[in-house]
Chain A
Amino acid sequence: MATQGAEGLAAGTEVPAGPAHEDVFPPFDSTYFAPQLIWLALIFGVLYLLMAKIALPRVAGILAIRKQTISDDLQAATKAQEDAAAAAAAHEKTLAKAKAKAQALGQQAHAAAAAAADASRGKLEAELGAKLAEAEKKIGETKTAAMANVDAIAVEVAHAILQHVTGASADPKAVVAAVAAAKA
Protein backbone atom coordinates (compact mmCIF):
# COMPACT_ATOMS: atom_id res chain seq x y z
CA MET A 1 0.00 0.00 0.00
CA ALA A 2 2.77 2.39 0.99
CA THR A 3 4.68 1.80 -2.22
CA GLN A 4 1.50 2.28 -4.17
CA GLY A 5 1.08 5.67 -2.54
CA ALA A 6 4.64 6.62 -3.40
CA GLU A 7 4.07 5.53 -6.96
CA GLY A 8 0.92 7.60 -7.10
CA LEU A 9 2.83 10.64 -5.94
CA ALA A 10 5.68 9.96 -8.34
CA ALA A 11 3.25 9.53 -11.20
CA GLY A 12 1.60 12.76 -10.26
CA THR A 13 4.74 14.84 -10.08
CA GLU A 14 6.05 13.67 -13.47
CA VAL A 15 4.26 16.51 -15.13
CA PRO A 16 5.93 16.89 -18.50
CA ALA A 17 6.38 13.13 -18.87
CA GLY A 18 3.99 12.24 -21.63
CA PRO A 19 1.40 13.83 -23.82
CA ALA A 20 -1.11 11.07 -23.00
CA HIS A 21 -3.34 12.85 -20.50
CA GLU A 22 -3.67 9.75 -18.34
CA ASP A 23 -0.17 10.41 -16.98
CA VAL A 24 -0.36 14.20 -16.86
CA PHE A 25 -0.77 15.99 -13.54
CA PRO A 26 -4.55 16.64 -13.72
CA PRO A 27 -4.51 20.42 -13.16
CA PHE A 28 -2.05 20.78 -16.04
CA ASP A 29 -3.99 18.49 -18.38
CA SER A 30 -4.68 20.74 -21.35
CA THR A 31 -7.35 18.35 -22.67
CA TYR A 32 -9.86 19.92 -20.33
CA PHE A 33 -8.70 23.54 -20.56
CA ALA A 34 -11.25 24.51 -23.21
CA PRO A 35 -14.36 23.01 -21.58
CA GLN A 36 -13.39 24.43 -18.18
CA LEU A 37 -12.82 27.91 -19.61
CA ILE A 38 -16.12 27.79 -21.50
CA TRP A 39 -18.06 26.76 -18.40
CA LEU A 40 -16.17 29.25 -16.22
CA ALA A 41 -17.09 32.07 -18.62
CA LEU A 42 -20.69 30.90 -18.79
CA ILE A 43 -21.23 30.33 -15.06
CA PHE A 44 -19.25 33.38 -13.93
CA GLY A 45 -20.98 35.53 -16.55
CA VAL A 46 -24.43 34.48 -15.38
CA LEU A 47 -23.45 34.93 -11.75
CA TYR A 48 -21.98 38.37 -12.51
CA LEU A 49 -25.15 39.49 -14.28
CA LEU A 50 -27.37 38.25 -11.45
CA MET A 51 -25.20 39.99 -8.86
CA ALA A 52 -24.72 43.26 -10.77
CA LYS A 53 -28.29 43.63 -12.02
CA ILE A 54 -30.38 42.17 -9.20
CA ALA A 55 -28.65 41.17 -5.97
CA LEU A 56 -26.29 44.08 -5.33
CA PRO A 57 -28.75 46.91 -6.14
CA ARG A 58 -31.28 45.11 -3.97
CA VAL A 59 -28.89 44.90 -1.00
CA ALA A 60 -27.86 48.52 -1.55
CA GLY A 61 -31.56 49.43 -1.50
CA ILE A 62 -32.16 47.45 1.69
CA LEU A 63 -29.20 49.15 3.39
CA ALA A 64 -30.29 52.61 2.20
CA ILE A 65 -33.86 52.06 3.39
CA ARG A 66 -32.62 50.80 6.75
CA LYS A 67 -30.32 53.80 7.13
CA GLN A 68 -33.19 56.13 6.20
CA THR A 69 -35.56 54.38 8.61
CA ILE A 70 -33.07 54.57 11.46
CA SER A 71 -32.32 58.25 10.87
CA ASP A 72 -36.05 59.01 10.53
CA ASP A 73 -36.80 57.19 13.75
CA LEU A 74 -33.95 58.96 15.50
CA GLN A 75 -35.21 62.31 14.27
CA ALA A 76 -38.73 61.49 15.43
CA ALA A 77 -37.36 60.44 18.81
CA THR A 78 -35.35 63.67 19.11
CA LYS A 79 -38.43 65.66 18.17
CA ALA A 80 -40.57 63.79 20.68
CA GLN A 81 -37.95 64.45 23.34
CA GLU A 82 -37.90 68.14 22.48
CA ASP A 83 -41.70 68.22 22.55
CA ALA A 84 -41.70 66.54 25.93
CA ALA A 85 -39.15 69.04 27.26
CA ALA A 86 -41.22 71.92 25.88
CA ALA A 87 -44.36 70.48 27.44
CA ALA A 88 -42.56 70.08 30.76
CA ALA A 89 -41.36 73.70 30.55
CA ALA A 90 -44.87 74.90 29.70
CA HIS A 91 -46.24 72.90 32.60
CA GLU A 92 -43.67 74.40 34.95
CA LYS A 93 -44.56 77.88 33.70
CA THR A 94 -48.28 77.30 34.18
CA LEU A 95 -47.67 75.93 37.62
CA ALA A 96 -45.55 78.93 38.62
CA LYS A 97 -48.18 81.27 37.20
CA ALA A 98 -50.95 79.54 39.13
CA LYS A 99 -48.84 79.60 42.25
CA ALA A 100 -48.18 83.33 41.90
CA LYS A 101 -51.85 83.94 41.23
CA ALA A 102 -52.88 81.94 44.26
CA GLN A 103 -50.38 83.80 46.39
CA ALA A 104 -51.65 87.16 45.13
CA LEU A 105 -55.23 86.09 45.75
CA GLY A 106 -54.36 85.02 49.27
CA GLN A 107 -52.56 88.24 49.97
CA GLN A 108 -55.44 90.21 48.55
CA ALA A 109 -57.95 88.31 50.69
CA HIS A 110 -55.71 88.75 53.70
CA ALA A 111 -55.40 92.47 53.07
CA ALA A 112 -59.14 92.82 52.51
CA ALA A 113 -59.89 90.89 55.65
CA ALA A 114 -57.41 93.00 57.61
CA ALA A 115 -58.86 96.19 56.22
CA ALA A 116 -62.40 95.07 57.04
CA ALA A 117 -61.32 94.13 60.53
CA ASP A 118 -59.55 97.46 60.94
CA ALA A 119 -62.58 99.32 59.71
CA SER A 120 -65.00 97.51 61.99
CA ARG A 121 -62.65 97.91 64.91
CA GLY A 122 -62.30 101.65 64.23
CA LYS A 123 -66.05 101.94 64.01
CA LEU A 124 -66.54 100.00 67.18
CA GLU A 125 -63.86 102.02 68.94
CA ALA A 126 -65.46 105.24 67.75
CA GLU A 127 -68.85 104.04 68.95
CA LEU A 128 -67.42 102.95 72.24
CA GLY A 129 -65.54 106.27 72.54
CA ALA A 130 -68.77 108.14 71.89
CA LYS A 131 -70.63 106.05 74.45
CA LEU A 132 -67.79 106.59 76.91
CA ALA A 133 -67.84 110.31 76.33
CA GLU A 134 -71.59 110.34 76.77
CA ALA A 135 -71.30 108.35 79.92
CA GLU A 136 -68.58 110.63 81.22
CA LYS A 137 -70.75 113.62 80.38
CA LYS A 138 -73.64 112.05 82.26
CA ILE A 139 -71.41 111.32 85.17
CA GLY A 140 -70.21 114.95 85.14
CA GLU A 141 -73.79 116.23 85.03
CA THR A 142 -74.85 113.94 87.79
CA LYS A 143 -71.81 114.98 89.73
CA THR A 144 -72.49 118.69 89.36
CA ALA A 145 -76.10 118.05 90.21
CA ALA A 146 -75.05 116.04 93.19
CA MET A 147 -72.58 118.69 94.15
CA ALA A 148 -75.38 121.32 94.02
CA ASN A 149 -77.43 119.12 96.27
CA VAL A 150 -74.41 118.76 98.55
CA ASP A 151 -74.28 122.62 98.87
CA ALA A 152 -77.92 122.72 99.82
CA ILE A 153 -77.46 119.89 102.33
CA ALA A 154 -74.34 121.59 103.75
CA VAL A 155 -76.25 124.85 104.15
CA GLU A 156 -79.13 123.03 105.75
CA VAL A 157 -76.83 121.03 108.00
CA ALA A 158 -74.90 124.18 108.93
CA HIS A 159 -78.12 126.03 109.61
CA ALA A 160 -79.37 123.15 111.74
CA ILE A 161 -76.12 122.94 113.67
CA LEU A 162 -76.11 126.69 114.24
CA GLN A 163 -79.66 126.62 115.43
CA HIS A 164 -78.97 123.76 117.72
CA VAL A 165 -75.78 125.28 119.13
CA THR A 166 -76.93 128.86 119.38
CA GLY A 167 -80.55 128.18 119.78
CA ALA A 168 -81.22 131.04 117.53
CA SER A 169 -82.08 131.00 113.88
CA ALA A 170 -79.19 132.16 111.86
CA ASP A 171 -79.35 134.35 108.86
CA PRO A 172 -79.76 131.86 105.88
CA LYS A 173 -77.86 134.24 103.57
CA ALA A 174 -74.87 134.36 105.87
CA VAL A 175 -74.87 130.56 106.21
CA VAL A 176 -74.84 130.13 102.43
CA ALA A 177 -72.00 132.62 102.21
CA ALA A 178 -70.09 130.86 104.97
CA VAL A 179 -70.55 127.39 103.38
CA ALA A 180 -69.43 128.76 100.05
CA ALA A 181 -66.38 130.29 101.73
CA ALA A 182 -65.61 127.03 103.51
CA LYS A 183 -65.95 125.04 100.29
CA ALA A 184 -63.59 127.40 98.53
Chain B
Amino acid sequence: MSEAGASAVDPIHQFHIKVIQPLDLFGVDASFTNSALFMALGALAVIVVMLIGTSGRKIIPTRLQTSAELAYEFAADMVRQTCGEAGMRFFPLVFTLFMFVLACNLIGLWPYTYEVMAQIIITAGMAFSIIFLSIGYGIYKHGLHFFGLFKPSGVGPIMSIFIVPIEILSFISRPVSLSVRLFANMLAGHIMLAVFGGFCVMLLGAGGYAFLAPLPLLGITLLTAFELLVSVLQAYVFAVLTCVYLNDALHPGH
Protein backbone atom coordinates (compact mmCIF):
# COMPACT_ATOMS: atom_id res chain seq x y z
CA MET B 1 0.00 0.00 0.00
CA SER B 2 1.74 3.13 -1.23
CA GLU B 3 1.56 6.26 0.91
CA ALA B 4 -0.11 8.39 -1.81
CA GLY B 5 -2.63 5.71 -2.79
CA ALA B 6 -3.51 5.10 0.82
CA SER B 7 -4.10 8.80 1.53
CA ALA B 8 -6.55 9.03 -1.36
CA VAL B 9 -8.96 6.44 0.01
CA ASP B 10 -8.00 6.09 3.67
CA PRO B 11 -10.61 8.10 5.61
CA ILE B 12 -8.43 8.02 8.75
CA HIS B 13 -5.45 9.60 7.06
CA GLN B 14 -6.83 13.11 7.55
CA PHE B 15 -6.53 12.80 11.34
CA HIS B 16 -2.80 12.11 11.37
CA ILE B 17 -0.77 14.54 13.41
CA LYS B 18 2.16 15.99 11.51
CA VAL B 19 4.95 17.72 13.39
CA ILE B 20 5.73 21.06 11.81
CA GLN B 21 8.32 22.33 14.30
CA PRO B 22 9.73 19.90 16.89
CA LEU B 23 9.98 21.56 20.29
CA ASP B 24 11.06 20.30 23.66
CA LEU B 25 9.83 21.96 26.81
CA PHE B 26 11.78 20.78 29.90
CA GLY B 27 11.83 17.25 28.59
CA VAL B 28 8.19 17.32 27.51
CA ASP B 29 7.35 17.13 23.83
CA ALA B 30 5.77 20.48 22.89
CA SER B 31 6.11 20.19 19.12
CA PHE B 32 4.15 22.59 16.97
CA THR B 33 1.91 20.27 14.94
CA ASN B 34 -0.78 20.69 12.30
CA SER B 35 -3.28 20.38 15.16
CA ALA B 36 -1.71 23.36 16.93
CA LEU B 37 -1.56 25.26 13.63
CA PHE B 38 -5.29 24.90 13.04
CA MET B 39 -6.08 25.72 16.68
CA ALA B 40 -4.10 28.91 16.16
CA LEU B 41 -5.96 29.60 12.91
CA GLY B 42 -9.29 29.09 14.69
CA ALA B 43 -8.24 31.47 17.45
CA LEU B 44 -7.02 33.92 14.82
CA ALA B 45 -10.42 33.81 13.06
CA VAL B 46 -12.14 34.61 16.37
CA ILE B 47 -9.67 37.44 16.99
CA VAL B 48 -10.32 38.89 13.52
CA VAL B 49 -14.08 38.97 14.11
CA MET B 50 -14.04 40.04 17.75
CA LEU B 51 -11.09 42.44 17.88
CA ILE B 52 -10.61 43.81 14.37
CA GLY B 53 -14.34 43.72 13.68
CA THR B 54 -15.14 45.83 16.71
CA SER B 55 -12.15 48.20 16.48
CA GLY B 56 -14.31 50.89 14.86
CA ARG B 57 -16.78 50.92 17.81
CA LYS B 58 -19.45 52.10 15.40
CA ILE B 59 -23.00 52.98 16.44
CA ILE B 60 -24.10 51.78 13.00
CA PRO B 61 -21.99 48.63 12.73
CA THR B 62 -20.05 47.20 9.82
CA ARG B 63 -20.74 43.62 8.75
CA LEU B 64 -17.87 42.25 10.80
CA GLN B 65 -18.93 44.27 13.84
CA THR B 66 -22.49 42.98 13.40
CA SER B 67 -21.13 39.43 13.45
CA ALA B 68 -19.21 40.16 16.64
CA GLU B 69 -22.28 41.72 18.25
CA LEU B 70 -24.53 38.84 17.17
CA ALA B 71 -22.06 36.31 18.61
CA TYR B 72 -21.84 38.31 21.83
CA GLU B 73 -25.59 38.62 22.26
CA PHE B 74 -26.21 34.99 21.30
CA ALA B 75 -23.71 33.72 23.87
CA ALA B 76 -24.81 36.25 26.50
CA ASP B 77 -28.46 35.16 26.13
CA MET B 78 -27.40 31.53 26.34
CA VAL B 79 -25.48 32.10 29.60
CA ARG B 80 -28.21 34.30 31.07
CA GLN B 81 -30.98 31.81 30.30
CA THR B 82 -29.03 28.81 31.62
CA CYS B 83 -27.16 30.26 34.61
CA GLY B 84 -29.02 33.46 35.38
CA GLU B 85 -27.35 36.82 35.99
CA ALA B 86 -24.85 35.25 38.43
CA GLY B 87 -23.55 33.08 35.60
CA MET B 88 -22.33 36.11 33.68
CA ARG B 89 -19.00 35.80 35.52
CA PHE B 90 -18.41 32.72 33.33
CA PHE B 91 -19.59 34.47 30.20
CA PRO B 92 -16.06 35.17 28.84
CA LEU B 93 -15.17 31.50 29.28
CA VAL B 94 -18.36 30.17 27.66
CA PHE B 95 -18.05 32.72 24.87
CA THR B 96 -14.41 31.82 24.16
CA LEU B 97 -15.24 28.09 24.23
CA PHE B 98 -18.17 28.53 21.87
CA MET B 99 -16.29 30.72 19.40
CA PHE B 100 -13.13 28.59 19.52
CA VAL B 101 -14.97 25.33 18.88
CA LEU B 102 -17.14 26.95 16.21
CA ALA B 103 -14.16 28.50 14.41
CA CYS B 104 -12.14 25.26 14.55
CA ASN B 105 -15.11 23.25 13.26
CA LEU B 106 -15.86 25.66 10.42
CA ILE B 107 -12.21 25.86 9.37
CA GLY B 108 -11.99 22.07 9.54
CA LEU B 109 -14.75 21.79 6.94
CA TRP B 110 -12.49 23.22 4.22
CA PRO B 111 -10.69 20.66 2.11
CA TYR B 112 -7.03 20.11 3.03
CA THR B 113 -7.54 21.61 6.50
CA TYR B 114 -7.37 19.81 9.84
CA GLU B 115 -10.32 19.17 12.16
CA VAL B 116 -8.94 19.91 15.62
CA MET B 117 -12.11 18.85 17.42
CA ALA B 118 -11.74 15.33 16.03
CA GLN B 119 -8.83 14.92 18.47
CA ILE B 120 -10.14 13.37 21.69
CA ILE B 121 -7.34 14.93 23.71
CA ILE B 122 -8.47 18.44 22.70
CA THR B 123 -12.14 17.95 23.57
CA ALA B 124 -11.25 16.02 26.72
CA GLY B 125 -8.82 18.73 27.75
CA MET B 126 -11.55 21.33 27.46
CA ALA B 127 -14.26 19.14 29.06
CA PHE B 128 -12.18 18.12 32.09
CA SER B 129 -11.04 21.71 32.60
CA ILE B 130 -14.69 22.79 32.66
CA ILE B 131 -15.67 20.07 35.15
CA PHE B 132 -12.70 20.83 37.42
CA LEU B 133 -13.56 24.51 37.25
CA SER B 134 -17.18 23.66 38.11
CA ILE B 135 -16.15 21.52 41.10
CA GLY B 136 -13.55 24.04 42.29
CA TYR B 137 -15.89 27.01 42.02
CA GLY B 138 -18.76 25.06 43.61
CA ILE B 139 -16.67 24.13 46.67
CA TYR B 140 -15.16 27.62 46.86
CA LYS B 141 -18.60 29.22 46.75
CA HIS B 142 -20.76 26.75 48.68
CA GLY B 143 -18.28 24.66 50.65
CA LEU B 144 -19.52 21.15 51.46
CA HIS B 145 -23.04 22.22 50.54
CA PHE B 146 -21.87 21.81 46.93
CA PHE B 147 -22.05 18.03 47.41
CA GLY B 148 -25.79 18.42 48.01
CA LEU B 149 -25.74 18.26 44.21
CA PHE B 150 -25.65 14.47 44.58
CA LYS B 151 -28.69 14.28 46.84
CA PRO B 152 -31.80 15.73 45.24
CA SER B 153 -34.06 17.44 47.76
CA GLY B 154 -37.13 15.50 48.80
CA VAL B 155 -35.45 12.10 48.45
CA GLY B 156 -35.80 9.93 51.54
CA PRO B 157 -32.84 8.21 53.26
CA ILE B 158 -33.62 4.80 51.79
CA MET B 159 -34.02 6.14 48.27
CA SER B 160 -30.77 8.07 48.73
CA ILE B 161 -28.88 4.77 48.83
CA PHE B 162 -29.83 4.31 45.20
CA ILE B 163 -30.11 7.89 44.02
CA VAL B 164 -26.80 9.23 45.32
CA PRO B 165 -24.58 6.68 43.53
CA ILE B 166 -26.56 7.30 40.32
CA GLU B 167 -26.10 11.04 40.68
CA ILE B 168 -22.38 10.62 41.39
CA LEU B 169 -22.02 8.33 38.39
CA SER B 170 -23.86 10.79 36.16
CA PHE B 171 -21.62 13.60 37.43
CA ILE B 172 -18.46 11.62 36.72
CA SER B 173 -19.67 10.74 33.24
CA ARG B 174 -20.19 14.42 32.42
CA PRO B 175 -16.67 15.24 31.21
CA VAL B 176 -16.58 11.97 29.26
CA SER B 177 -19.89 12.58 27.52
CA LEU B 178 -19.04 16.25 26.95
CA SER B 179 -15.74 15.46 25.26
CA VAL B 180 -16.83 12.32 23.41
CA ARG B 181 -19.96 13.97 22.00
CA LEU B 182 -18.02 16.71 20.22
CA PHE B 183 -15.11 14.45 19.29
CA ALA B 184 -17.30 11.65 17.89
CA ASN B 185 -19.55 13.99 15.93
CA MET B 186 -16.66 15.71 14.21
CA LEU B 187 -14.72 12.48 13.70
CA ALA B 188 -17.70 10.64 12.20
CA GLY B 189 -18.60 13.54 9.95
CA HIS B 190 -15.11 13.88 8.54
CA ILE B 191 -14.76 10.13 8.08
CA MET B 192 -18.04 10.16 6.15
CA LEU B 193 -16.81 12.95 3.91
CA ALA B 194 -13.55 11.11 3.29
CA VAL B 195 -15.34 7.81 2.62
CA PHE B 196 -17.56 9.43 0.02
CA GLY B 197 -14.49 11.11 -1.48
CA GLY B 198 -12.82 7.70 -1.59
CA PHE B 199 -15.86 6.29 -3.42
CA CYS B 200 -15.40 8.94 -6.10
CA VAL B 201 -11.75 8.02 -6.58
CA MET B 202 -12.47 4.30 -6.60
CA LEU B 203 -15.35 4.62 -9.08
CA LEU B 204 -13.23 6.72 -11.41
CA GLY B 205 -10.63 3.97 -11.36
CA ALA B 206 -13.21 1.22 -11.86
CA GLY B 207 -13.44 1.35 -15.67
CA GLY B 208 -17.04 0.84 -16.74
CA TYR B 209 -18.51 2.10 -13.51
CA ALA B 210 -16.71 5.45 -13.77
CA PHE B 211 -19.96 7.08 -14.93
CA LEU B 212 -21.32 6.53 -11.39
CA ALA B 213 -18.56 8.69 -9.89
CA PRO B 214 -20.68 11.90 -9.71
CA LEU B 215 -23.13 10.17 -7.32
CA PRO B 216 -20.83 10.13 -4.28
CA LEU B 217 -19.77 13.65 -5.26
CA LEU B 218 -23.41 14.71 -4.87
CA GLY B 219 -23.36 12.85 -1.56
CA ILE B 220 -20.32 14.87 -0.44
CA THR B 221 -22.14 18.08 -1.34
CA LEU B 222 -25.15 17.14 0.77
CA LEU B 223 -22.94 15.84 3.58
CA THR B 224 -20.95 19.07 3.63
CA ALA B 225 -24.16 21.02 4.20
CA PHE B 226 -25.09 18.57 6.93
CA GLU B 227 -21.63 18.81 8.48
CA LEU B 228 -21.96 22.58 8.50
CA LEU B 229 -25.08 22.15 10.62
CA VAL B 230 -23.34 19.62 12.88
CA SER B 231 -20.32 21.92 13.31
CA VAL B 232 -22.43 24.84 14.48
CA LEU B 233 -24.79 22.68 16.50
CA GLN B 234 -22.01 20.82 18.33
CA ALA B 235 -20.27 24.09 19.20
CA TYR B 236 -23.61 25.32 20.58
CA VAL B 237 -24.28 22.08 22.47
CA PHE B 238 -20.78 22.16 23.95
CA ALA B 239 -21.30 25.75 25.15
CA VAL B 240 -24.81 25.09 26.51
CA LEU B 241 -23.67 22.02 28.45
CA THR B 242 -20.77 24.05 29.81
CA CYS B 243 -23.36 26.54 31.04
CA VAL B 244 -25.46 23.77 32.57
CA TYR B 245 -22.48 22.27 34.41
CA LEU B 246 -21.30 25.67 35.63
CA ASN B 247 -24.86 26.41 36.74
CA ASP B 248 -24.63 23.41 39.09
CA ALA B 249 -21.60 25.06 40.67
CA LEU B 250 -23.48 28.36 40.96
CA HIS B 251 -26.74 26.88 42.28
CA PRO B 252 -26.04 23.38 43.62
CA GLY B 253 -29.52 22.89 45.10
CA HIS B 254 -31.62 20.64 42.91
Contact = CB atoms under 8 A, between A and B. Distances in A.
A43 interface: yes
B187 A62 contact: no
Interface in B75-119: 91-93, 95-96, 99-100, 118-119
Interface string A43-87: 110111011101110111111011001000000000000000000
A29 B120 CA distance: 10
A11 B13 CA distance: 11
Contacts of A55: 47, 50-51, 54, 68
Contact of A40 (B1, B28, B126): B126
Contacts of B13: 8
A7 interface: yes
A131 to B, nearest CB: 94
Interface in B10-51: 10-13, 15-17, 23, 25, 28-33, 35-36, 39-40, 43, 46-47, 50-51
B213 interface: no
Nearest to B92: A52
Contact of B33 (A12, A36, A46, A47): A36
Contacts of A41: 125
A58 B54 CA distance: 7
A26 B15 contact: yes
A40 B51 contact: no
Of the candidates A5, A12, A60, the one having the most CB atoms from chain B within 10 angstroms of its own CB is: A5
Contact of B201 (A1, A31, A34, A36): A1
Contacts of A37: 121, 125
A62 B57 contact: yes
A56 B6 contact: no
B205 interface: yes
B217 interface: no
24 contacts: A1-B202, A4-B10, A9-B12, A12-B10, A25-B12, A26-B12, A27-B118, A32-B29, A34-B28, A36-B35, A36-B119, A36-B125, A43-B39, A43-B40, A48-B96, A50-B47, A50-B50, A51-B46, A51-B92, A51-B99, A52-B92, A55-B50, A56-B92, A69-B59
Interface of A: 1-2, 4-5, 7-9, 11-12, 25-29, 31-41, 43-44, 46-48, 50-52, 54-56, 58-63, 65-66, 69
